[in-house]
Amino acid sequence: MWHHKNTLFGKYEIGKLLGCGAFAKVYHARSIATGQSVAVKVINKSKITNTSNIKREISIMRRLHHPHIVKLYEVLATKSKIYVVIEFVKGGELFTRVAKGRFDEETGRKYFQQLISAVGFCHSRGIYHRDLKPENILIDENGYLKVSDFGLSAATDQIRQDGMLHTICGTPSYVAPDILVKKGYDGAKVDIWSCGIILYVLTAGYLPFNDPNLMEMYRKIYKGEYQCPKWMSSDLKRFLSRLLDTNPATRITVDQIFQDPWFRKDYKEVSFPASDDQFTLKPDEEDRTGFSLNAFNIISFSSGLDLSCLFDDSSSSENDGERFVSTEAPEKIVEKVEEVLKGETGLILKTNKNWGLEIEGEKVKFRMELEVYRLIDNLAVVEVRRRMGHVKLFNELWGEKIKPNLVSAAGQNDPPPARSL
């Protein structure tokens, strides 16, 4: 159902709502001039922060003209809204298809070949997706794969002097161990890891690393602890082991993937013409001054997460607790807390069988809990929560006495900053 009275700049008739997120609504639309179906993401400018020069970002996106990447047609703007016009992919998400049941190896290989073609193309243009997963891959009406949702992508100019990217992002089940270590990572290598997870999901029907306990899942990712189902061929198992190599230095590269026997079976090179299409930015009469926006944010507001926020808990009030990563061993962390509390009177300290402490008031109603989760030998997550009692007492005990000892010690090893829950 097309709304002829609801047109965008006289160019597009807006149809039904396809999806809605925190920053944008996505509509099915039709070009008035050509009748072509498109998708239009309508973004509220007031909800966008950390903007940058859109012309530079659109120039970057012009590099990604590939049959297996969703096309960006143009960006339009009013005083309060931004309209991103992209290719409409009718078939929906790859996730929806694999959720109905795993694919056979031949089908999984076909999709994976298309995925690597797209990912390799991105890398050759200096773009790293960083949130590859079946939910961000679309299938068109002809059964061809289209990579979408570049909201967390990075370009080569974001690489620091150490040659690495440092922003911690991705989706938990698909994130590479080299991102979680938080020492910098190669964007191409983490994309390859995510591709390996996708291939496993396509051919097994479930995730290789999965656990209701987030910390336990991260531990499995660090250790590379997964098992292939018995129906996988030996060649596929071998190939997956190269994709899901926890050591980025020895993990298979895109060039090596193209040479792998399992991958090369029935592979057809993707050919496409070079494109010099110009994307346009057309502010309306009320907004002639233009605007600045990060194109990687406006192209898609993906459901992927900045992992530095994964330790947040929106259900907690501002001062109820905190989580952060430490490079101290759990035993050492607990030892330091116990040392600090030795000088405190009116408190009862209890320990549990793991690396946990419970601190209670002897005469006042107060209780706080501290838990330490080991991820790998030199990385742990510290979680503290106020369970009972006044916030002021918690802030004094934790914020002024205990936490400075833990954070300063961790700081010697370049930890991530502490984050409030």
- Active-site positions read 131
Alpha-carbon distance 209 to 73, whole Å?
37
Both tokens of 228, joined, read 């292939």
User: CB of 317 within 8 A of CB of 394?
Assistant: no
> Running DSSP on this structure, what letter comes out for residue 38?
E
User: CB of 401 within 8 A of CB of 349?
Assistant: no
Helix axes 187-204, 105-124, angle to 10 degrees: 170
Alpha-carbon distance 39 to 7, whole Å?
13
Alpha carbon of 284 to those of 72, 167, 287, 295: distances in Å? 20, 35, 5, 19
User: CB of 381 within 8 A of CB of 373?
Assistant: yes
Q: What Rg, from alpha-carbon coordinates, does the chain have?
A: 25
Q: Report the amino acid identity of residue 100.
A: K
Residue-wise DSSP of 322-372 = EEEEESS-HHHHHHHHHHHHTT-SSEEEEE-SSSEEEEEESSSS-EEEEEE
